[in-house]
Structure 1
Amino acid sequence: MGVEWTALHWIYVIFIVLIIGFMVKRRDTTLICILGIFSLALIATGSLSASVSGIFNSFIFAITELMSTILVISIIVAMSQVLTKTGINDVMISPFTRFITSPALAYWIIGILMMGISWFFWPSPAVALLGAVLLPAAIRAGLPSLGVAMAMNLFGHGIALSSDFIIQAAPKLTADAASLPVGEVISASIPLVITMGLVTTITAYFFLRRDMMRGSLPVSTYIHVENENIRSEHFLSTSQKKFFSVFIPIVFILDVVAMSVLKLQGGDATALVGGTAVFILIILSLFTHKQQGLEKITVYLIQGFQFGFKVFGPVIPIAAFFYLGDSGFQKILGDHLPATSHGIVNDLGIGLAALVPLSKEVAAVTLTITGAITGLDGSGFSGISLAGSVANLFATAIGGGAATLTALGQISAIWVGGGTLIPWALIPAAAICNVDPFELARRNLLPVTIGLVVTTIVAMFLM
């Protein structure tokens, strides 16, 4: 094998298989991950107390690694709460409604806007920001509400979330698990994101238009649903809303320019976006709530943190387990690997290369399937650490292609689990558009599947 496989390696493999199996069965993997951490710690240290402590320390390590990601998403969600509360989001989006004059324009305009906003605000807040304003305009133009939901899903929870070029939460998770720089994973993902996005959205629109012409998708009538999460209040005048609706996009565009000029990536880029969002949150809170502005800043931040930890709660245990496969092992459990070891995952890759003559085609297909399986829990993010870890393993076995494989696993996991195929992950968009989430998932299934197949083939040529 070239390296010495110990009980630690076999325990790690067994628990990877168990985690995938539980995901396939749509069961929660938290307990399995905790048991995996405990088992690895017990075998490594031989101490019951150290093993129990290892669980907590692994959580601390994972939270430390993920904290910047959790923090920026929480802050952005907090900021989006102010935009929604004041109605600034309505004014930001309203200029585009005049262009929505046909079903085709409605589909593509809503989709592209959703993608752009999701890159900065993440898809869940973007659904609320966009849906309430553009849904009536799209329906008046003849696009069924199901088509609106598909556009928001595929462009937001699909393209934007799987690429995550601005906030860089997804590439950080996969890059860390694969022991790669974030910028390398992002660069490798660009052609795959473009391929997946174009194939999926064009295919979805083709099927949607075909069924509309057949009359199997009746034109919707807009039903206003009062929702406390999207209801705005009259805090600002029209001119004030217009000012902020121009000011906020300009500030974020300046962030993007700064990232390009200063070559900011990864944590630096995330910090810039997060700090900007904090200042916007403070300015809007003080300007909107006047005397109560100081207290409202805290209220909005609490709402953001509640969302952030709710989303990343399931991610922390699984990330803690997979960090043990690489650099996290020594930091959490100490130096208990063999002297010849390169880390559990690297050892498995070297051993696999010696046992099975893998090819780039087999590796690409395996990463797509692994990513899709990890997405079955409906989170999208809980399994991308596994995708990065497996990508590292296969890249070691075939002698290259780590960044492309990591990006492929990330795209597959998030497209499946992030909100395009799993019904319980589709609920926000389905609720805003007043459609059945299971029907929405059914409509997305074939386009997303075709997209994954084509993207996997493209990845084979890029490796």
Structure 2
Amino acid sequence: MGIELSAVHWVYVVFILFIIGFMIFKRDTTLICILGIFIIGLIATSSFTTAVSSVFNSLIYAITQLLSTILVISIIVALSHVMTKTGINDVMIAPFTKLIKNPTLAFWITGLVMMTVSFFFWPSPAIALLGVVLLPAAARAGLPAIGAAIAMNLFGHGIALSGDYIIQGAPKLTADAAGIPVSEVMKASVPLVIVMGAVTTVTAFFLLKRDMRLGRIVVSQSDIEKANGKTANQQLLANHSRIFFAVLIPILLMLDVAGMIAFHLEGSDATALIGGTIIFLLMMISINAYKNDGLEKITSYFIEGLQFGFKVFGPVIPIAAFFYIGGDGFKAVFGQSLPHSMGIVNDLGSALAHTVPVNSEIASGTLTIVGAITGLDGSGFSGISLAGSVAHLFAGALGHGIATLTAMGQIAAIWVGGGTIIPWALIPAAAICRVDAFELARRNLIPVLFGLAVTTIVAMFLV
């Protein structure tokens, strides 16, 4: 029997619909998110003062959850500034500009390289590694920054993370919840990941090329400057020094990759290793370029990076706060849990699973919806155990198809929340490419929904 939904659950659903509506009409969502937090707090605690306080506390919680991402994006931007001002970036880009000659090649090469690296240590660190080099090369080839962001995001946070065949964090969680071996989930996910990836990326590319052809998206000189930064000051570093650092940077980052594999570092640990390496690179380049002024320049670049990081994340924090209270953030913000609750979004997914009839078609569709709902908190991973449990429930009634249903729920949860259409989940790609996170989410929405629809139909035949 499913959990009984309370007024808090229904209010949460209503505000999700409001937020989606505001996004569709390209309006800012800060006000509606804060009102949603306040009203949910008022209903959950029956205290006006607690509800008012919860607005502030929810923002603090969201910032705490996002802080490591904000920091690593900030120092990457700081490094990119010093690289472009010293001409190191030009040296590093040169090999890629020979390979990436037009927008089409730029899109697919950027995406495929991103996917390959993301398989080994997840997409957020991969974007940190690749963005600073691939983005300027793509811009020079005529691919708009939003196009590079779409490619990085769909191939990394979409294809690579939803399959997770190397690190196996996602299939382990879903397989354990479904009570089956990890290998079965991974095997069942292969055709679904291929279909989802192919449909989504091809659709996104088609829509991007259409808008470029119609003049809705153009690559202007300012876009190229945005990717490259200011013109390099050739006086700061001698040519041999630029070549030295252009070689040293990828070597150190590849050593990071080797360290991640050797020491089984993933997620935040992998990001921290990348971040620490970038900080040392920033200091080394600043000292070599600015000599006596190097100490002050290190601080100056840090400030520039942090200003950029908080400017980019500022609009995202209120909406992240709202969706975080749908998961683990509820107890942290309101100081209590809902009775017999697994978290608001997980409760909604569980309730849906217990109210639909069971056959192969409905089971596949329900797993997609449940996965998508649990991904609304922007994690992608927080609710995939529920997807495994629901798959176990439906497969028990059907007598077959547990691995395929589990894989379908996993794919839906990670594509939505891992993420490609939740604005704060795709912040790394948006920030590195210096595009608006909400605009990136809007452009991903149709391809991802179309991909989920086609993949769900395929799953119906495989169950």
Output the TM-score relative to the length of structure 1. 0.69
Please list every run of 5 or more consecutive structure 1 residues that lacks an aligned counterpart in the other structure. 139-144, 211-215, 375-382, 431-436
Is 328-337 or 234-243 further displaced after alignment?
Answer: 328-337
Residues 1:391 and 1:100: Cα distance change in structure 2 (over 3 Å) = closer
Aligned residue identity for 1:279: F
Query: Greater CA deviation, 397-406 or 346-355?
Result: 397-406
Q: Give the gaps of 5 or more residues in structure 2.
A: 394-404
Distance 1:25 1:293, change over 3 A: same
Alignment of 1:116-135 (within 5 A): 129-130=133-134
2:378 maps to 1:385:
yes
Partner of 1:322: 323
Count of matched residue positions in the alignment of Structure 1 and Structure 2 = 413
The reply on whether 1:240 has 2:252 as its aligned counterpart is: no
Post-superposition CA distance 1:192-216 (Å, at most 9, x none): 7765555566678899999xxxxx8
Map of 1:331 onto structure 2: 332
Structure 1 position 26, deviation (Å): 2.2
Identity across matched positions, percent: 46
Deviations 1:385-420 (A, max 9, x none): 28777867766655473533321214773499999x
Work out the CA distance in 2 between the residues paired with 1:60 and 1:150. 30
CA contact (8 A) 2:380 2:416 kept: yes
Contact 2:138 2:148 in 1 (8 A): no
Q: Counterparts of 1:413 and 1:367 in 2: how far apart (Å)?
A: 17
- 1:43-98 Cα offsets, whole Å, 9 max, x none, are 22222111111111111111111111111111111111111111111111213444
Aligned pairs for 1:63-462 (under 5 A) are: 63-99=63-99, 129-130=133-134, 138=141, 145=142, 152-160=148-156, 162=158, 198=198, 227=225, 229-234=229-234, 235-335=236-336, 337-338=338-339, 340-357=340-357, 359-363=362-366, 366=369, 385=378, 397-398=390-391, 399=393, 401=406, 402-410=409-417, 413-414=420-421, 454=454
Residue 10 of structure 1 corresponds to 10
Q: Counterparts of 2:293 and 2:307 in 1: how far apart (Å)?
A: 21
Q: AA paired with 2:414?
A: A
**Residue 312 of structure 1 aligns to which amino acid in structure 2?**
F
Secondary structure at the residue paired with 1:341?
coil
After superposition, the C-alpha distances for 1:352-374 in whole angstroms (9 at most, x for unaligned) are 22323374432465479889xx9
Contact 1:30 1:317 in 2 (8 A): yes
* Structure 1 residues 57 and 445, CA gap change in structure 2 (3 angstroms): closer
Over 3 Å counting, the alpha-carbon distance change for 1:428 and 1:315 in structure 2 is closer
Contact 1:41/1:54 (<8 A) preserved: yes
State the one-letter code of the partner of 1:36.
G
CA RMSD of aligned residues (A): 5.0
Q: Is the 8 A contact 1:415 1:448 kept in 2?
A: no
8 Å contact kept, 2:316–2:424: no
> 2-side partners of 1:327 and 1:208: how far apart?
36
- Post-superposition offset of 1:263: 0.6
Return the letter of the residue paired with 1:356. V
Alignment match, 1:433:
none
Q: In the alignment, is the contact (CA less than 8 A) between 1:132 and 1:230 conserved in 2?
A: no
Change (3 A) 1:417 1:195: farther
From the superposition, tell whether residues 404 and 30 of structure 1 become closer, same or farther in structure 2 (CA, over 3 Å). Answer: same
Give per-residue Cα distances to partners, 1:154-173, cap 9 Å, x unaligned.
533432454687xx9xx9xx
Letter in structure 1 aligned against 2:292: Q
Relative to structure 1, the CA distance from residue 298 to residue 446 in structure 2 (aligned partners, 3 Å threshold; closer, same or farther) is same
1:102-142: CA deviations, max 9, x gaps? 99867755665677899678769977755655666x5xxxx
Question: C-alpha offsets along residues 284-320 of structure 1, whole Å, 9 cap, x if unaligned?
Answer: 1111111111121122112211222222223222222
Give, in whole Å, the separation in 1 of the partners of 2:386 and 2:267: 23
Distance in 2, Cα, partners of 1:71 & 1:302? 11
Q: Distance in 2 between matches of 1:203 and 1:278?
A: 38
- Counterparts of 1:207 and 1:416 in 2: how far apart (Å)? 20
**Contact 1:5–1:347 (8 Å) recurs in 2:** yes
**Amino acid corresponding to residue 264 of structure 1 in structure 2:** L
Say if 1:416 and 1:159 are closer, same or farther in 2 by CA, change over 3 A: farther
Between 1:452-461 and 1:247-256, the stretch displaced more is 452-461
CA distance in 2, matches of 1:446, 1:323: 24
TM-score by length of 2: 0.69
Query: Can you list the C-alpha shifts for 1:263-286, whole angstroms capped at 9, x where unaligned?
Result: 111111111111111111111111
The change in CA–CA distance for 1:262 and 1:29 in structure 2 (over 3 A counts) is same
Whichever residue aligns with residue 156 of structure 1, its letter is: M
1:110–1:152 Cα contact (<8 Å) kept: yes
Distance 1:101 1:15 in 2: 45
Q: 1:224 to 1:415 in 2, by over 3 A?
A: same
Q: Deviations over 1:227-251 (max 9, x none)?
A: 4724211111111111111100010
Matched AA of 1:385: G
Q: Secondary structure at the match of 1:355?
A: coil
Separation (CA, whole Å) in 1 of partners of 2:355 and 2:79: 52
Residue equivalent to 1:22: 22
Aligned to 1:50: 50
Contact 1:38 1:52 (C-alpha < 8 Å) held by counterparts: yes
